[in-house]
Chain A
Amino acid sequence: ETGVTQTPRHLVMGMTNKKSLKCEQHLGHNAMYWYKQSAKKPLELMFVYSLEERVENNSVPSRFSPECPNSSHLFLHLHTLQPEDSALYLCASSQDPGTDPSYEQYFGPGTRLTVT
Protein backbone atom coordinates (compact mmCIF):
# COMPACT_ATOMS: atom_id res chain seq x y z
CA GLU A 1 0.00 0.00 0.00
CA THR A 2 1.23 3.50 -0.80
CA GLY A 3 -0.44 5.33 2.09
CA VAL A 4 -3.05 6.90 -0.19
CA THR A 5 -6.58 5.50 -0.03
CA GLN A 6 -9.53 6.20 -2.28
CA THR A 7 -13.23 5.46 -1.91
CA PRO A 8 -15.26 4.16 -3.49
CA ARG A 9 -13.17 1.84 -5.65
CA HIS A 10 -15.98 1.48 -8.18
CA LEU A 11 -18.85 3.84 -8.96
CA VAL A 12 -21.65 3.66 -11.49
CA MET A 13 -23.76 6.79 -11.84
CA GLY A 14 -26.34 8.22 -14.15
CA MET A 15 -25.84 11.52 -15.93
CA THR A 16 -28.20 13.33 -13.57
CA ASN A 17 -26.68 12.01 -10.34
CA LYS A 18 -24.42 13.80 -7.89
CA LYS A 19 -21.64 11.82 -6.28
CA SER A 20 -18.30 12.45 -4.59
CA LEU A 21 -14.96 10.71 -4.71
CA LYS A 22 -12.82 10.73 -1.58
CA CYS A 23 -9.07 10.53 -1.17
CA GLU A 24 -7.08 10.37 2.06
CA GLN A 25 -3.32 10.35 2.48
CA HIS A 26 -1.56 9.09 5.61
CA LEU A 27 1.92 10.26 4.63
CA GLY A 28 1.99 13.76 6.10
CA HIS A 29 2.28 15.29 2.62
CA ASN A 30 1.41 18.87 1.73
CA ALA A 31 0.28 18.48 -1.88
CA MET A 32 -2.54 16.42 -3.38
CA TYR A 33 -3.60 15.78 -6.97
CA TRP A 34 -6.51 14.47 -9.04
CA TYR A 35 -5.77 12.68 -12.31
CA LYS A 36 -8.02 11.17 -14.96
CA GLN A 37 -6.87 7.99 -16.73
CA SER A 38 -8.82 6.95 -19.81
CA ALA A 39 -8.12 3.73 -21.68
CA LYS A 40 -4.89 3.83 -23.71
CA LYS A 41 -4.37 7.53 -22.97
CA PRO A 42 -1.81 9.25 -20.73
CA LEU A 43 -2.76 10.35 -17.25
CA GLU A 44 -4.33 13.80 -17.38
CA LEU A 45 -3.69 16.12 -14.47
CA MET A 46 -6.94 17.73 -13.33
CA PHE A 47 -6.22 19.63 -10.12
CA VAL A 48 -3.32 20.32 -7.77
CA TYR A 49 -3.66 21.44 -4.17
CA SER A 50 -0.78 22.67 -2.05
CA LEU A 51 -1.47 23.28 1.64
CA GLU A 52 -5.20 23.17 0.90
CA GLU A 53 -4.92 25.88 -1.75
CA ARG A 54 -5.64 25.05 -5.39
CA VAL A 55 -2.52 25.83 -7.39
CA GLU A 56 -3.49 24.32 -10.72
CA ASN A 57 -6.71 23.74 -12.62
CA ASN A 58 -6.13 22.22 -16.03
CA SER A 59 -9.21 23.55 -17.85
CA VAL A 60 -11.42 20.92 -16.26
CA PRO A 61 -15.19 21.22 -16.92
CA SER A 62 -17.18 22.69 -14.07
CA ARG A 63 -19.10 19.43 -13.62
CA PHE A 64 -15.97 18.35 -11.70
CA SER A 65 -15.58 20.30 -8.47
CA PRO A 66 -12.63 19.62 -6.14
CA GLU A 67 -12.50 20.28 -2.44
CA CYS A 68 -9.53 20.09 -0.08
CA PRO A 69 -10.68 20.68 3.53
CA ASN A 70 -7.24 19.86 4.96
CA SER A 71 -3.90 18.54 3.78
CA SER A 72 -4.91 14.91 4.36
CA HIS A 73 -8.22 14.85 2.50
CA LEU A 74 -9.25 15.58 -1.06
CA PHE A 75 -12.66 15.26 -2.64
CA LEU A 76 -13.91 15.37 -6.21
CA HIS A 77 -17.60 16.27 -6.44
CA LEU A 78 -19.32 15.08 -9.59
CA HIS A 79 -22.58 16.29 -11.11
CA THR A 80 -24.31 15.98 -14.49
CA LEU A 81 -21.46 13.93 -15.93
CA GLN A 82 -21.26 12.65 -19.49
CA PRO A 83 -20.53 9.07 -20.66
CA GLU A 84 -17.10 10.23 -21.90
CA ASP A 85 -16.23 11.04 -18.29
CA SER A 86 -16.07 7.31 -17.58
CA ALA A 87 -12.47 6.61 -16.56
CA LEU A 88 -10.18 5.72 -13.68
CA TYR A 89 -9.76 8.69 -11.35
CA LEU A 90 -6.49 8.63 -9.47
CA CYS A 91 -5.53 10.63 -6.44
CA ALA A 92 -1.89 11.26 -5.55
CA SER A 93 0.06 13.09 -2.88
CA SER A 94 3.59 14.41 -2.52
CA GLN A 95 5.67 16.16 0.11
CA ASP A 96 5.61 19.37 -1.90
CA PRO A 97 3.96 20.37 -5.19
CA GLY A 98 7.15 19.98 -7.18
CA THR A 99 9.50 22.73 -6.08
CA ASP A 100 12.05 19.94 -5.62
CA PRO A 101 12.50 18.34 -9.08
CA SER A 102 12.98 14.89 -7.58
CA TYR A 103 9.72 15.03 -5.65
CA GLU A 104 7.84 11.76 -5.61
CA GLN A 105 4.11 11.37 -6.11
CA TYR A 106 2.37 8.50 -4.38
CA PHE A 107 -0.80 7.27 -6.03
CA GLY A 108 -3.94 5.76 -4.60
CA PRO A 109 -5.62 2.74 -6.23
CA GLY A 110 -8.13 4.85 -8.09
CA THR A 111 -11.90 4.96 -8.46
CA ARG A 112 -13.27 3.26 -11.57
CA LEU A 113 -16.13 5.53 -12.66
CA THR A 114 -18.78 4.51 -15.15
CA VAL A 115 -21.34 7.07 -16.31
CA THR A 116 -24.47 5.58 -17.85
Chain B
Amino acid sequence: KNQVEQSPQSLIILEGKNCTLQCNYTVSPFSNLRWYKQDTGRGPVSLTIMTFSENTKSNGRYTATLDADTKQSSLHITASQLSDSASYICVVSFPVFSGGYNKLIFGAGTRLAVHP
Protein backbone atom coordinates (compact mmCIF):
# COMPACT_ATOMS: atom_id res chain seq x y z
CA LYS B 1 0.00 0.00 0.00
CA ASN B 2 1.33 3.45 -0.92
CA GLN B 3 1.92 5.40 2.27
CA VAL B 4 3.82 8.43 3.51
CA GLU B 5 4.69 8.58 7.21
CA GLN B 6 6.05 11.69 8.90
CA SER B 7 7.72 12.21 12.25
CA PRO B 8 7.52 13.75 14.68
CA GLN B 9 3.83 14.61 14.68
CA SER B 10 4.61 17.90 16.38
CA LEU B 11 7.71 19.77 17.45
CA ILE B 12 8.49 22.85 19.54
CA ILE B 13 11.81 24.66 19.17
CA LEU B 14 13.25 28.00 20.22
CA GLU B 15 13.81 30.76 17.72
CA GLY B 16 17.23 30.56 16.12
CA LYS B 17 17.60 26.80 16.60
CA ASN B 18 17.80 24.22 13.82
CA CYS B 19 15.47 21.26 13.39
CA THR B 20 15.00 18.24 11.14
CA LEU B 21 11.72 16.68 10.09
CA GLN B 22 11.51 13.11 8.81
CA CYS B 23 9.51 11.43 6.06
CA ASN B 24 9.41 7.71 5.21
CA TYR B 25 7.47 6.42 2.25
CA THR B 26 6.48 3.11 0.73
CA VAL B 27 5.29 4.55 -2.59
CA SER B 28 6.42 2.60 -5.64
CA PRO B 29 7.06 3.37 -8.39
CA PHE B 30 8.25 6.83 -7.50
CA SER B 31 8.29 10.02 -9.57
CA ASN B 32 9.34 12.70 -7.11
CA LEU B 33 9.11 13.89 -3.51
CA ARG B 34 7.94 17.31 -2.39
CA TRP B 35 7.86 19.24 0.83
CA TYR B 36 5.06 21.73 1.41
CA LYS B 37 4.62 24.37 4.11
CA GLN B 38 1.10 25.03 5.33
CA ASP B 39 0.47 28.06 7.51
CA THR B 40 -2.60 28.01 9.75
CA GLY B 41 -5.67 28.91 7.75
CA ARG B 42 -3.83 28.66 4.44
CA GLY B 43 -3.34 26.11 1.72
CA PRO B 44 -0.01 24.26 1.34
CA VAL B 45 2.80 26.02 -0.52
CA SER B 46 5.59 24.09 -2.23
CA LEU B 47 9.10 24.37 -0.73
CA THR B 48 11.11 21.79 -2.70
CA ILE B 49 10.68 19.02 -5.23
CA MET B 50 13.23 16.24 -5.82
CA THR B 51 13.43 13.38 -8.30
CA PHE B 52 14.95 10.01 -7.34
CA SER B 53 18.33 11.09 -8.76
CA GLU B 54 18.61 14.14 -6.49
CA ASN B 55 20.04 13.81 -2.98
CA THR B 56 19.54 17.33 -1.73
CA LYS B 57 17.78 20.55 -2.62
CA SER B 58 17.75 23.87 -0.84
CA ASN B 59 15.32 26.76 -0.69
CA GLY B 60 16.76 29.47 1.52
CA ARG B 61 16.95 28.15 5.08
CA TYR B 62 15.15 24.96 4.08
CA THR B 63 17.19 21.97 2.88
CA ALA B 64 15.57 18.72 1.82
CA THR B 65 17.44 15.43 1.46
CA LEU B 66 16.36 12.25 -0.24
CA ASP B 67 17.63 8.68 0.04
CA ALA B 68 15.72 6.76 -2.63
CA ASP B 69 17.30 3.46 -1.56
CA THR B 70 15.94 3.61 1.99
CA LYS B 71 12.90 5.65 0.92
CA GLN B 72 13.56 8.36 3.43
CA SER B 73 13.59 12.12 3.20
CA SER B 74 14.28 14.88 5.67
CA LEU B 75 13.64 18.61 5.80
CA HIS B 76 16.22 20.61 7.71
CA ILE B 77 15.38 24.13 8.84
CA THR B 78 18.31 26.35 9.78
CA ALA B 79 18.20 29.30 12.15
CA SER B 80 14.46 29.01 12.70
CA GLN B 81 12.25 32.08 12.75
CA LEU B 82 8.83 32.65 14.28
CA SER B 83 7.37 32.65 10.77
CA ASP B 84 8.50 29.03 10.33
CA SER B 85 5.67 27.99 12.66
CA ALA B 86 3.48 25.89 10.36
CA SER B 87 2.73 22.35 9.28
CA TYR B 88 5.26 20.74 6.96
CA ILE B 89 3.87 18.12 4.63
CA CYS B 90 5.81 15.46 2.73
CA VAL B 91 4.23 14.47 -0.58
CA VAL B 92 5.27 11.65 -2.91
CA SER B 93 4.25 11.48 -6.55
CA PHE B 94 3.85 8.23 -8.43
CA PRO B 95 2.74 7.43 -11.98
CA VAL B 96 -0.73 6.02 -12.59
CA PHE B 97 -0.09 4.17 -15.81
CA SER B 98 -3.72 3.50 -16.62
CA GLY B 99 -4.48 7.20 -16.48
CA GLY B 100 -1.22 8.49 -17.94
CA TYR B 101 -0.73 10.97 -15.12
CA ASN B 102 0.97 11.29 -11.74
CA LYS B 103 -0.84 11.09 -8.43
CA LEU B 104 0.16 12.66 -5.12
CA ILE B 105 0.21 10.83 -1.77
CA PHE B 106 0.29 13.18 1.22
CA GLY B 107 1.75 12.63 4.66
CA ALA B 108 -0.16 13.82 7.72
CA GLY B 109 2.41 16.56 8.34
CA THR B 110 4.62 17.72 11.20
CA ARG B 111 3.30 20.69 13.13
CA LEU B 112 6.23 22.96 14.04
CA ALA B 113 5.99 25.70 16.65
CA VAL B 114 8.86 28.17 16.97
CA HIS B 115 8.86 30.00 20.29
CA PRO B 116 10.73 33.26 21.08
A binds B: yes
Contact at B43–A42, with CB atoms within 8 Å? no
Which of B4, B41, B42, B95 makes the CB contact (< 8 A) with A101? B95
Q: Which residues of the partner chain A approach B100 to less than 8 Å between Cβ atoms? A: 99
Contact at B9–A105, with CB atoms within 8 Å? no
Which of A43, A56, A99, A101 makes the CB contact (< 8 A) with B89? A43
Max count, chain B CB within 10 A of own CB: residue among A4, A55, A98, A107: A98
CA distance A63 to B103 in the complex (A): 24
Distance in angstroms from A96 CB to nearest chain B CB is: 8
CA distance A110 to B41 in the complex (A): 7
Asked if A108 CB lies within 8 Å of chain B CBs, one says yes
Contact at A109–B42, with CB atoms within 8 Å? yes
Which of B43, B51, B89, B95 makes the CB contact (< 8 A) with A110? B43
Q: Mark B14-38, 1 if CB is under 8 A from A, else 0.
A: 0000000000000000011000000
Contact at B93–A92, with CB atoms within 8 Å? no
Contact at A40–B108, with CB atoms within 8 Å? yes
Asked if B68 CB lies within 8 Å of chain A CBs, one says no
